Structure 1
Amino acid sequence: MIGLGLDPAEVLDPICSRAGCREAAAWNVNWRNPRIHTADRVKVWLACDDHADYLRDYLEARDFPVLVTAVGTTVDRVPDVTSRA
């Protein structure tokens, strides 16, 4: 899913974006790089229950704003304030 430009709501069987994981995704990890993107540029990784925290923490450690939502939820923007699942 990473970098494919697909709308998560259009994917029939969303799979976790964590390397090597093939579990069904339950979460959207919405994020952006504030150094190059405005708040309305949203990138989405998908996460299973086991990897949602891992992916969120990975992005937060790099000071990227993150908003975790249920899979299939569309987010128009990722504000600078982060939100935990």
Structure 2
Amino acid sequence: MSGDDLVCSAKGCRAEAVWAVRWNNPTLHTPERRKVWLACDPHRETLWEFLSLRGFARDVVPVDRLEPTDG
């Protein structure tokens, strides 16, 4: 993934993402599976809260620490 691909996942935001909010839906995904929403600094907490309320949030890492299996 190049820097041009790292755009925040928040609706309408086009800022560069610096965080990877990793999550999974336990009714659809195996426990080790991680989906990723990218986040800029201002949207990191908002995206985390949205996923947390649904019981989907797992962790947040800098985008440069994403694993090849994330996604």
TM-score range, shorter chain: 0.7 to 0.9
TM-score between the two structures when normalised by the length of structure 1: 0.71
Unaligned runs of 5+ in 2: none
Q: Which structure exhibits the higher relative contact order, with contacts defined as CA atoms closer than 8 Å and separated by 6 or more residues?
A: 2
Query: Which runs of 5 or more structure 1 residues have no equivalent in the other structure?
Result: 1-9, 78-85
RMSD: 1.6
Q: Sequence identity of aligned pairs in percent?
A: 43
More strand by share: 2
Structure-2-length-normalised TM-score: 0.84
- Please give the alpha-carbon distance, in whole angstroms, between the structure 2 residues aligned to 1:19 and 1:47: 11
Runs of 4+ in 1 over 4 A off after TM superposition: none
Counterpart of 2:64 in 1: which secondary structure? coil
Q: In proportion to residue count, which structure has more helix?
A: 2
